[in-house]
């Protein structure tokens, strides 16, 4: 063990905390999402039915939360896994974090673009 390589990893609490917070958001929103798409609406998913559902502001909110929280949760989760095995040094971990933020924000923008017609 090199003491330096331990100390150089500052922080981590916020990432950890947000992983939990997003998890709680996800479990609520995902439940709603799944029930409506896979039970209520099974076999009946199309551009129009989705459009109808999304006409409710509530559903739009759920989907946007799903998108944002999901993206953070997924990419931070991915980061944790990668840092356990391949991105162990401080430099690599930092690079990974930056790349994942870029990917995440891009995904978010793209996702919102996809939902835009219903949002506006």
38 binds ligand HEM (CB under 6 A): no
Can you tell me the distance from the alpha carbon of 67 to that of 92, in angstroms, rounded to the nearest whole number? 27
Least distance from ligand HEM to the Cβ atom of residue 28, Å: 9
Can you tell me the distance from the alpha carbon of 48 to that of 29, in angstroms, rounded to the nearest whole number? 22
Q: Which of 20, 38, 56, 92 binds ligand HEM (CB under 6 A)?
A: 20
Restricted to residues 80-119, the positions that interact with ligand HEM (CB under 6 A) are: 80-81
Least distance from ligand HEM to the Cβ atom of residue 66, Å: 8
């Amino acid at each position: 063990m090199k003491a330096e390589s331990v100390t150089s990893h500052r922080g981590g609490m916020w990432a950890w905390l947000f992983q939990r917070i997003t998890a709680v958001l996800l479990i609520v929103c995902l439940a709603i999402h799944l029930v409506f798409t896979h039970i209520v609406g099974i076999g009946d998913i199309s551009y129009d039915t989705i459009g109808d559902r999304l006409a409710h502001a509530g559903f739009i909110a759920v989907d946007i939360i799903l998108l944002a929280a999901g993206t953070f949760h997924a990419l931070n989760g991915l980061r944790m896994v990668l840092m356990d095995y391949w991105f162990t040094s401080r430099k690599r971990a930092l690079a990974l974090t930056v790349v994942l933020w870029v990917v995440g924000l891009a995904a978010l923008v793209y996702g919102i673009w996809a939902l835009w017609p219903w949002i506006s």
